[in-house]
Amino acid sequence: MDAYLEIRLLPDPEFPVSFLMGALYGKLHRALVTLESSKIGVSFPGYSQSPRRLGDRLRLHGDQAALSQLMTQNWLRGMTDHIQCSDILSVPELVQYRTVSRRQFKTSSERLRRRRMKRKGETWEQAAAAIPDNVERRPDLPYVHLRSQSTEQSFTLFIEQGELREQPTSAEFNTYGLSRQATIPWF
């Protein structure tokens, strides 16, 4: 993973940055599904938990060949008025590494109760006694709203950054450019 490119969202009075990031990230997901690529990772240089946001930049990491193959696709169609895209560049020499991964939360006690009722054949009262309201967790991570290419379901994708490391770890990325094991260069 010696190359990267960066896509910066341009300010737009009609659309908030979070909306544009969701559209851009959704297009990237569709392109990675089409390419069946597991060699491209993502990072968000403007990532922040307080305030909670992904920022206005999406950085794609990989080798020269994988990034070139991605960019030969017409995946940015419809976004060109809203973005500024760099060339494919070499990763700086002195960097640290981190994982960027999806974090899933069991957020709704109502949903958990319905699921339990279906799985165990319980009544609402039994499920409510087994799953109290305080099991709900309020995610504090930045997120993006997406639609899955495989299920066509809309969902919220929470993104978590791992701790900084001195050494990279090789593994595959999913079709969202995320991995719990594989690291991306952080600079």
Q: What is the DSSP secondary structure assignment for residue 92, as one 8-state letter?
A: P
Active-site residue, from 29, 61, 82, 145? 29
H helix intervals, 43-144 = 64-72, 109-120, 124-130
Q: Is the peptide bond before 51 cis (omega within 30 degrees of 0)?
A: yes
User: Do 154 and 145 touch, CB atoms closer than 8 A?
Assistant: yes
H helix intervals, the chain = 17-35, 64-72, 109-120, 124-130
How far apart (Å, rounded) are the C-alpha atoms in residues 1 and 168? 9
H helix intervals, 52-181 = 64-72, 109-120, 124-130
Q: Is 186 helix (H, G, I), strand (E, B) or coil?
A: strand
Tokens standing for residue 170: 């090789």
Q: Is 29 a catalytic residue?
A: yes
Catalytic residues: 29
